[in-house]
Structure formats: C-alpha cells, structure tokens
Amino acid sequence: MTPKTISFLKFSLLIFIALSVLLASNTHAKPVAAIIYPNDAKITEHHIADVQADGDRHKASFFLPIHANKETLTVNTAPGSHMRITSVNIEKQALPVADQVEALKNQLKNLNRKKSEFETRIKADIAYIDFWQTQAKNQPEKIEDIESVEKLGNAIKKGITQAYDEIFQYTQSLEELAEKIKKVRKQLNDLTGATKKRWQVDVYLSGKPQPKIDLTCSYHIRNCYWRPTYTLNALPAKSETELNWYAQITQNTGIDWEDVELKIATAQAVTRPEPPFLRDWIIQPRKEIVYSTARHTSSMAEESLMFAAPQLSADMAAGAPPPEPEQKAGFTFDTYDLGKRTIKAGESRRFTIREMVLNSDFKYLIRPHETPQAFLFAQLDIKDDDFIRLPNGDATYLVDSAFIAIRSFSMHDKEQKLFFGSDPQVDVKLTILEKKSNETGFLIGKKQYQWGWKVSINNLKAHKIAVLMEDAYPQIRDKRIKLKETFNGVAPQKEDNLLKWTFPVLPQTETAVEYGFSVTYPDEMDLSFGGR
C-alpha cells in the first residue's frame, strides 16, 4: 500500500467520522409521540445524549423548547441501562444568535444600498424631464431651421419617454425592496429585541459510566393544540344526515414532527404536582347580624322588595351568606389514535376523525306567533353502538350539499335535534280570527276574553313535507280564572306548557289549522293577557 493510498484512507476516515458526528447532532432529539389536547400537547421525545463528567458525578444534557412546561417534565432511561437517574436540573439558556444577527445586518445593508441607488436614478430621470420641459418652454418665437428642431423634438420625446419608463420600473422595484427591508428588520428585531431562549435539562446519573445513554422524556407544551370542526350535510330525500368530524391541529413547537405517533384528546389533561389542601369543616351557631338604626330605617323599602321576591330563602333574608357555587368534580374524555403522522413546525393540518351517516327524521318547525318562517330540522336517534361524544366546535351546515351556515355543534346525547335554517319554499301565514272582550257578558259579575287564530302552511315544494307546529299553552296563575280551549281539525299534544301539532302538507298544497282560547274571570279583576 503506497503512502498516497494510506493518506487517502485516513482522509476518508476523518470525513466519515465528521459526517457521523454531524448526523448524530442533528438527530439527538426526535419527537416520537404526541397527545394533542384542546389547549396544549404532551410530547414524548427520544434522546441519545453524551455522558459527561461533572466533578465527581456524571450527567447527560439535552434541550427543550422555551414554551415547554418544565413542571410537567418526566425523564426515563432505556430498559437495560447500566445507569440510574439521581436528579434533574432545568435552567433557562439564551441561544447564540451573533452569526444570524451579522448575516441579517449585512443583508439589510445591501438592500438599503440598492434602495439608495434606485432613488438616485429616479431623481436623475426627474431632473432630465424637468430640463427638457424647461427648454421646450424657452424656444425662440422665430424658428430658422425647422428640420433640426423636429429632430431635436423627437430626441427629447424619446428621452423623456424612456425616463418615465425607468421611473415606473424603479418605483416598482422600490416597493419590492421596501417589503424585503421590512421583513429583514422584523427578523433582526426579533433576534436582538427579545433574546431567544430554551430550557437546558441536565440529568445526573449514577452507575457504570457509558459514552452515551438513551433517554425518553415527556412534557407538556403550549403553542400546540387542536380544534374540532364538522360538516353536517342534510339529505331529506334519503332521511339521512352525513356527519364528518375533523381535527384541525396546529403545532408551533419549533420542531418538525416526522412519523410521530399522534393522538388527540377531547378534553384537557389536568397536571398538578401536589393535591389541594382540605378545607376545615366547621359547624357552629349562626352569628346574629345586628343592623344600625340608619340601616333599619332605610330597610323598609328593602322589606317590600323581599316580600315581592319569594325566591329569596329565609336564610338569605336573615342575612346569611349566599350558597356556595355547586362543585362539579372530575371529567371524562376520549382519545383517538391517528397513527403515524408528519407535521412540520408552524403548520396547521386537518385530519379526518370520523365519517358517519345518521338516520334522520326531517320535519319543518313553525312557530307562527314568533316568525312566519319554517325551519328544517333533523331529529337524530342514534343507536348505542354508533353513539360517540363529540366536543364543541365550528360546523358547516349544508342541505343537499348547498351551504346554509356556520354554527357551533356538539353531541352529548343519543337523541339530538339539528336545525338547518329556514326554507323560503314553505310559507307560513298567521291570521287573527278573533280577539275581543265581552264585558257586558251573559254571566253576572264575570268578564270574558276570546282569541282565535288560523295558521296556513303553503308547501311550494315538489314533495310532501312533515310539519311540527308549536305554540305556548296559556298558564293560569289564579284559580278564579277559567280557561276554555277550541281546537278545529288536528288536535295538538300538550307537553310542558307547550302545544305541538304534527301533520303532513302535500306538494303544491296549502293546509290550515284553526284554534283558540277564551278566559272567564271576575268582574273586579284587572287581568294581564300576557302580550296576546
């Protein structure tokens, strides 16, 4: 083997070692799993860290993003490791940015130099135009050589045209330069105005020292979250509703995720290092509250209010403190495994969680005393095996794939009613048939008031529709008031002070419902009719 060959092999070996070190430094921290919550994320990373001597101890170090919650950090050694973790120290560290700052300053200097050059050329073109315009104004009245003047005029025209073209081009270039300068200045201000920082984690170890150690750590981090979004497509002709559930994941951790085991959780995890203290439970006689004379005098008006508000309890009236807010302990949430996914730092990506087709009973809800509109809704009745809880999020509502609205949506019950907006092809008209009092009356010492209405539903669609009509049932608050009902045709169902009529309306047909009420009450009673 010649000396030249030996030198070449040594050089190749050095290159190989350098590349190995470079690759190791680039892959020392790799996120392997993430659970995304609505407000943050739990990240699991794998580190291959160098073991270094630190006095009489050994340690391995790695870094976390500054947005990581250091209180949530856990660190474990790989199975079979010959070293144990004895303690962990976390400190904030400023990132070196001198090289980046110098590069940005040079870039800004070059951009400003080019900007000054363009501005100088624009000024020169403007001076050129002004000069020849002034010369044109100062020409002698008597022209001896017309041909030479024409040549001069054409030259001036050509020169001025070129000057205007240059001004336009330089002005456009200045606008582009201004955007670049603004961007570079912002980057420079970000670096110099607020020092970039990160967490340095020192893991102290005991046991037989090794050159490197495998560490797995997990922590919660802000700037990473997910939002549920939905698409609800009503298909009345099929008696179905298509429900698509998506997860919009945003990750601004500063680290690219490649083939990360990704999960989402529908509620926030509560991380707390210590349990809360128990409050003392004290049972004792209630202390009597003694009011001053001035308070006693001014409280006469308050007493009348107390009697007018029976919802105040006797304890509150006596000066007892108001009841404590009801405590709701604990929560439940679901997790969904999205498999291995890749999300670059700064990206926001949408993933499909579920695509479902739900059997739906479509009707039109009308409330004639409130609005002349008819609202399409789907009554969902989901089987136990198909039901899943869906967290609150923005939903796009469609009818036969046509956009209707964007509203919030959630699902916490197997029976749910979804509204898909009003339909202009279903016309509702309320006609007052009767609204009068009969104070002369045939009953001695009694008064009477009567109401009567007609509700007409005109179906302009090419198919039959089902209608649910609702109205408030009169609530009588005095036993001396007597109520009488009048229902013609379809009789309603009474449910919680609500009247409900259910009936079909054929295509291109009008259907009417008539009903009314009358009340009889004592002659001396001043009655409120509740706005009707």
Between 140-154, 171-185, 203-217, 442-456, the lowest mean confidence (pLDDT) is in 140-154
Task: Grade residue 129 by pLDDT with cuts at 50, 70 and 90.
Answer: confident
Angle at 485 between CA 479 and CA 491, to 5 degrees: 135
Q: What is the pLDDT of residue 58?
A: 93
Q: Which amino acid is at 404?
A: I
**3-state SS, residue 133:** helix
Strand 402-411 with 390-399, pairing: antiparallel
Task: Grade residue 243 by pLDDT with cuts at 50, 70 and 90.
Answer: very high
Q: Give one DSSP letter per residue of 338-385, joined into a string.
A: EEEEEE-TTEEEEEEEEEEEEEEEEEEEE-TTT-S-EEEEEEEE--TT
SS3 readout for 292-344: CHHHHHHCHHHHHHHHHCCCCCHHHHCCCCCCCCCCCCCCCCCEEEEEEEEEC
Mean per-residue pLDDT for 470-492? Answer: 91
Q: Does residue 303 have a pLDDT over 50?
A: no
Assess contact for 93 and 63: CB atoms under 8 A: yes
Higher pLDDT, 318 or 162: 162
| Token digits of residue 383 | 């089987």
pLDDT tens digits for range 249-297: 999 888 889 999 999 998 776 666 678 888 888 877 777 776 655 444 4
Which residues does 186 contact at the CB level (< 8 Å), separation at least 6?
A: none
What is the rounded CA–CA span in Å between residue 38 and residue 215? 28
Angle at 127 between CA 124 and CA 131, to 5 degrees: 140
Q: Does residue 46 have a pLDDT over 60?
A: yes
How is residue 237 annotated by DSSP? G
Distance of CA 253 to the CA centre of its chain: 19
Assess contact for 482 and 520: CB atoms under 8 A: yes
**Nearest CA to 37 among 70, 62, 69?**
69
Per-range mean pLDDT, top range of 75-84, 251-260, 481-490, 510-519? 510-519
Per the prediction, the chain carries an average pLDDT of 81
Assess contact for 89 and 204: CB atoms under 8 A: yes
Q: What is the pLDDT of residue 402?
A: 94
Q: Does residue 383 have a pLDDT over 90?
A: no
What is the rounded CA–CA span in Å between residue 492 and residue 346? 58
Assess contact for 236 and 398: CB atoms under 8 A: no
List, in order of start, the domains of the chain with CATH numbers: 98-140+149-193 (1.10.287), 226-256+344-422 (no CATH), 426-522 (2.60.40)
Return the bridge partners of 246, or none.
Answer: 229, 352
How is residue 383 annotated by DSSP? -
How is residue 343 annotated by DSSP? E
Distance of CA 370 to the CA centre of its chain: 32
Task: Grade residue 241 by pLDDT with cuts at 50, 70 and 90.
Answer: very high
**Nearest CA to 484 among 523, 519, 521?**
519
Q: What is the pLDDT of residue 271?
A: 61
Looking at the whole model, is its pTM more than 0.75? no
The torsion angles phi and psi of 329, rounded to 5 degrees, stand at -95, 140
Q: Does residue 7 have a pLDDT over 80?
A: no
Burial of 69 (0-12, 13-18, 19+ CB in 10 A): middle
- Percent of the chain at pLDDT above 90? 47
